[in-house]
Chains A and B, each alone.
Chain A
């Protein structure tokens, strides 16, 4: 009886232990969730502070939005695969400041674009303008496509004429019949 009790006790303890670890695991997951929640909260409050330190934000949102819209169209010349909006380069920072100033001066988007192109050339624009030197850039792919298509059509036509089936001559017909009619030896 005692032995049974201890065994049962043991089993109970084991079960408890299992529940216990489950509970531990559960609270661990909770802990993880709350930790990440904390991080989110920390960043939610601290994040804007960081951003402010990196680049002084314009007071009004409209200017900022326009600045971002313009600068996403512009290439950062220091890190050439990044837009001016996304770049952390010093020059990008300066140019964003310049764009803000131009917006405040009441310049239109086109005028700001011109300001940039006059200084850094067409390369600064992610959408190159259509002009003599960029014709190949704009129409090169279409040209390649049309060329390829023409080549394909030409090739298919030539192949068609090359394998045009002419009617069999009498002797050829006979030979074919003979071949078709002979039963294969088993």
Chain B
């Protein structure tokens, strides 16, 4: 009995380990930014490009920084959820439009000058938001993706939850589903708003 018991236990342990390992999401890379101040940046706003936005403008508020783009398929998928969040007025959403022109493989951004790129990005972003609804209190334009690098963005969409003191409290990679919002984001926002 004992002779067969131990190999069986070993096998069972291995099965459990492999099952857990296979169910982990390799894309879910823990962000080192959690618990740290949101990296500072100054970027033009989508609605009035002459004005700029900085994370410090949001001090005293709990807010979500949502990285999006019109070429990003998953963004389209999560968008209705964001619109719903905006409608419920539970939390302020700020959009970070990530590499609107350069990220689109169909456009050779090297052939555009800075002004033309900005113009095209604004055009594309605005028409997308007009079509699908604009859940953002404002959108900042990160044309070259440098701010994205500072935030450790490696795929769009990504969402950061930032507290009143400007500290990143959570990062969600991939589209926000209603379950993720009500199960993970909303409780945290409620706690941070206390």
Interface residues in chain A, defined as those with a beta carbon under 8 Å from any beta carbon in chain B: 77-78, 80, 90-91, 94-95, 98, 117-123
User: Considering the chains assembled together, what is the distance between the CA atoms of A27 and B33 in angstroms?
Assistant: 66
Given contacts A77-B29, A80-B26, A98-B149, contact A120 B103 (CB under 8 A): no
* Neighbour of B149 across the interface among A117, A119, A121, CB < 8 A: A119
Q: Which residues of B contact A91 (CB under 8 A)?
A: 145, 154
In the complex, the chain B residue whose C-beta lies closest to that of A78 is B154
Q: Which residues of B contact A120 (CB under 8 A)?
A: 29, 32, 152, 154
User: Considering the chains assembled together, what is the distance between the CA atoms of A94 and B152 in angstroms?
Assistant: 12
Most B Cβ at <10 Å: residue of A95, A118, A120: A120
**Interface pair B155/A78, CB less than 8 Å apart:** yes
User: Considering the chains assembled together, what is the distance between the CA atoms of A117 and B26 in angstroms?
Assistant: 17
Given contacts A90-B103, A94-B149, A98-B149, contact A121 B32 (CB under 8 A): yes
B21 interface contact, C-beta 8 A: no
**Interface pair A118/B32, CB less than 8 Å apart:** yes
Q: Which residues of A contact B151 (CB under 8 A)?
A: 119
User: Considering the chains assembled together, what is the distance between the CA atoms of A72 and B101 in angstroms?
Assistant: 28
The digit string for B148-185, where 1 denotes a CB below 8 A from any CB of A, is 01111011000000000000000000000000000000
Q: Which residues of B contact A117 (CB under 8 A)?
A: 32
Q: Which residues of A contact B31 (CB under 8 A)?
A: 121
Interface residues in chain B, defined as those with a beta carbon under 8 Å from any beta carbon in chain A: 26, 29-33, 99, 102-103, 144-146, 149-152, 154-155
Tally the A-B contacts, defined by beta carbons under 8 Å. Answer: 37
Q: Which residues of A contact B145 (CB under 8 A)?
A: 91, 94
Measured between C-beta atoms, what is the minimum distance from A53 to chain B in Å?
A: 9
Q: Which residues of B contact A118 (CB under 8 A)?
A: 32
Task: Please give 19 more A-B residue pairs, beta carbons under 8 A apart, in addition to A95-B149, A119-B32.
Answer: A77-B29, A77-B154, A77-B155, A78-B154, A78-B155, A90-B102, A90-B103, A94-B144, A98-B149, A118-B32, A119-B33, A119-B149, A119-B150, A119-B151, A120-B32, A121-B30, A121-B31, A121-B32, A123-B29
User: Considering the chains assembled together, what is the distance between the CA atoms of A78 and B146 in angstroms?
Assistant: 16
In the complex, the chain B residue whose C-beta lies closest to that of A119 is B152
**Interface pair A121/B154, CB less than 8 Å apart:** no
